[in-house]
Amino acid sequence: MTKITACIFDLDGVIVDTAKYHYQAWHKLAIQLDIPFNEAENEKMKGISRMDSLEMMLALGDKTYTDIDKQKYCAAKNTWYLDLVTDMDQSEILPGILDFIAHLKEEKIKIALGSASKNARKILNLVGLTDSFDDIVDGNDVVKSKPDPEVFLKGAALLKSKPTETIVFEDSAKGIDAAVAGSFRTVGIGQDIHLGHADIVVENLIGMSISDLSKRLESKS
């Protein structure tokens, strides 16, 4: 059976459902900049940095701005996003997460957060999950954005785990790309249409166990 010693979780769309808030904030900016933007375009931004997301949006409208303007727009989007998440609490934790984290702790599996978001620690504090993770790596700790594996490799290094013995849980295609590039085992949270290149794709983590996931990963080896 595949030996699993650690798990690394993305935040948005895996631990909590903040995608809707990101979409609302980006949509507000898109309207301001007169750029066509919808939820399908927002899906493509999942898992990547704020600046890379802005560049994708500007390309949609064939817009060109100075670096100073880009920083201003990123800051505005982040301010709107933080205003939207201010009232988040444990009710926004996605189904199955709390039980699965408790299960991993019982099984002595080390866990870390690996997120592109620079607001990851704030979100974890709001929903009361900060102390549930052995280590946290977010957008403030890395230079390269997904699909580069830096965020996951740093997480594995902190946990002292080998990538081949570590499962990355991701809801974005670029996040899965990053995990694959780092030689991690991968579980996609969502639909095959977006995450079919993950080792396993599940709708959520309700009722999941590390032994079940290990068996399913073994069948993919």
Catalytic-labelled residue, pool 12, 135, 177, 199: 12
Residue range 128-185, pLDDT digits in tens: 999 999 999 999 999 998 899 999 999 999 999 999 999 999 999 999 999 999 999 9
Catalytic-labelled residue, pool 10, 135, 138, 199: 10
Residue 171 bears catalytic tag:
no
Residues in a beta bridge with 147: none
Q: Side chain identity at 125, as an amino acid letter?
A: N
Query: Cα(65)–Cα(55) distance, rounded to whole angstroms?
Result: 10
Instruction: Give the pLDDT confidence score for residue 203 in this predicted structure.
Output: 93
Which domains does the chain show, CATH number per domain?
6-16+90-220 (3.40.50.1000), 19-85 (1.10.150.240)
Residue 141 bears catalytic tag:
no
Rg (CA), the chain: 17
Residue range 81-115, pLDDT digits in tens: 999 999 899 999 999 999 999 999 999 999 999 99
Residues in a beta bridge with 16: 12, 93
